[in-house]
């Protein structure tokens, strides 16, 4: 009995298996797939998605959903770009963006909490609002040219592996955020309250847990992480565009679910979301390597994976209820 995998960890194990399978398959099929560069790029290219997906994971863990992710990431990008273009020091611009992101998420959480509104509708409103606000900041894409970006972020903060290869700062951000979020979820009362809230809100309330504070906090955290994802995206793209990242929220949700977070809330594992993000990234990479497969296959495969993992979760929970 000891050797049996705890039920809650089956999805995470399954996603790890998928990750290894995809990676192994890629290495077997394509000569350069196994190179360090591909691996590093996998982290670097998907950093903004990963960071946003960590926020989404917290929201899903708490029993909610956040559809505003893509818009907030885009809003942050254009805001930072515009501020930098107007002469604000980049660190200040980034700080303002992060603050606004947290505030935005917190406001949505407040509405959800105070009036018991369905999260998907409130964050849908948030999605429209952030998208429109982004276009109000500036209707066109703005490139960011500043020594802070070209030199400090792109050069100084990158970790040099060899003369031709370095780990970009975005990848470092991703790993740091995942580590920090894992600790937050596992070792702080806030993190545990999020799990309790998502597992059974009525019980959490009767147990005297700060339900209201936790709920608002979760959305504020998600807003902050979306904004951070947006900041990291500016490092990666060196520009901001109000029209970008449409539908990113779906990728973030898919990453969380594929990473083992149960959409009903209460069960999940932050590093699992990283696995989910890497799976999505690997699919993209594989399709790029393949060359003659069209990119829309990505959407279909993500949908299929989403379906399989949701099915797996349902089967596990039904099995658990029966036994």
Pick from 271, 270, 300: which is nearest to 284 by CA?
300
d(C-alpha 126, C-alpha 132), whole Å: 10
Which residues touch 100 (CB under 8 Å, ≥6 apart)?
Answer: 76, 79, 227
d(C-alpha 98, C-alpha 112), whole Å: 21
Residue 107, class by beta-carbon neighbours within 10 Å (0-12 exposed, 13-18 middle, 19+ buried)? middle
212 binds another protein (CB under 8 A): no
The tokens of 37 are what? 């560069």
Which of 28, 116, 162, 163 is the binder for another protein (CB under 8 A)? 116
> What is the bridge-based pairing of β-strands 239-240 and 159-160?
unpaired
At 242, is the secondary structure helix, strand, or coil? Answer: coil
Question: Least distance (Å) from another protein to the CB of residue 89?
Answer: 28
By rule CB under 8 A, what string of x and - marks binding of each residue 73-112 to another protein?
--------------------------------------x-
Pick from 231, 192, 258: which is nearest to 101 by CA?
231
Which of 209, 287, 312, 316 is the binder for another protein (CB under 8 A)? 209
30 binds another protein (CB under 8 A): no
Which of 126, 230, 240, 259 is the binder for another protein (CB under 8 A)? 126
121 binds another protein (CB under 8 A): yes
**Which residue number, 218 or 306, has a Cβ lying nearer to another protein?**
306
d(C-alpha 97, C-alpha 229), whole Å: 11
1 binds another protein (CB under 8 A): no
Question: Least distance (Å) from another protein to the CB of residue 121?
Answer: 5
- Which positions lie near another protein, rule CB under 8 A? 6, 8, 65, 111, 114-118, 120-122, 124-129, 131-133, 135-136, 139, 183, 186-189, 192-193, 195-196, 199-200, 202-210, 242-243, 250, 253-254, 263-264, 266-267, 294, 296-300, 302-304, 306-307, 310-311, 314, 320
């Amino acid at each position: 009995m000891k050797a049996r995998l705890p039920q809650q960890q089956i999805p995470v194990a399954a996603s790890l298996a998928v990750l290894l399978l995809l990676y192994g398959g890629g290495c077997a099929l394509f000569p350069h797939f196994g190179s360090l560069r591909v691996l590093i790029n996998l982290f670097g290219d998907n950093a903004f998605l990963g960071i946003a997906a960590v926020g989404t994971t917290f929201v899903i863990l708490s029993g909610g959903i956040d559809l505003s992710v893509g818009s907030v990431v885009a809003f942050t990008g254009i805001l930072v770009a515009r501020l930098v273009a107007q002469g604000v020091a980049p660190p200040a611009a980034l700080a303002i963006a992060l603050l606004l992101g947290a505030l935005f998420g917190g406001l949505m959480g407040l509405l959800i909490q105070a009036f018991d509104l369905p999260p998907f509708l409130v964050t849908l409103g948030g999605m429209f609002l952030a998208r429109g606000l982004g276009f109000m900041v500036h209707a066109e894409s703005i490139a960011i040219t500043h020594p802070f970006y070209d030199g400090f972020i792109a050069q100084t903060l990158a970790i040099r592996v060899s003369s031709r290869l370095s780990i970009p700062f975005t990848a470092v951000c991703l790993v740091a955020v995942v580590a920090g979020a894992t600790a937050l979820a596992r070792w702080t009362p806030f993190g545990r309250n999020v799990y309790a809230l998502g597992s059974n809100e009525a019980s959490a309330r009767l147990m005297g847990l700060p339900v209201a504070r936790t709920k608002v906090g979760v959305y504020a955290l998600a807003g902050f992480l979306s904004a951070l994802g947006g900041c990291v995206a500016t490092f990666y793209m060196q520009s901001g565009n109000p029209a970008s990242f449409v539908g990113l929220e779906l990728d973030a949700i898919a990453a969380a679910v594929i990473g083992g977070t149960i959409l009903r809330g209460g069960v999940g594992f932050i590093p699992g979301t990283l696995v989910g993000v890497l799976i999505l990234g690997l699919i993209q990479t594989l399709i790029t390597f393949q060359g003659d497969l069209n990119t829309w296959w990505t959407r279909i495969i993500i949908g299929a994976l989403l379906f399989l993992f949701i099915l797996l979760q349902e089967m596990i929970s039904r099995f658990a209820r029966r036994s």
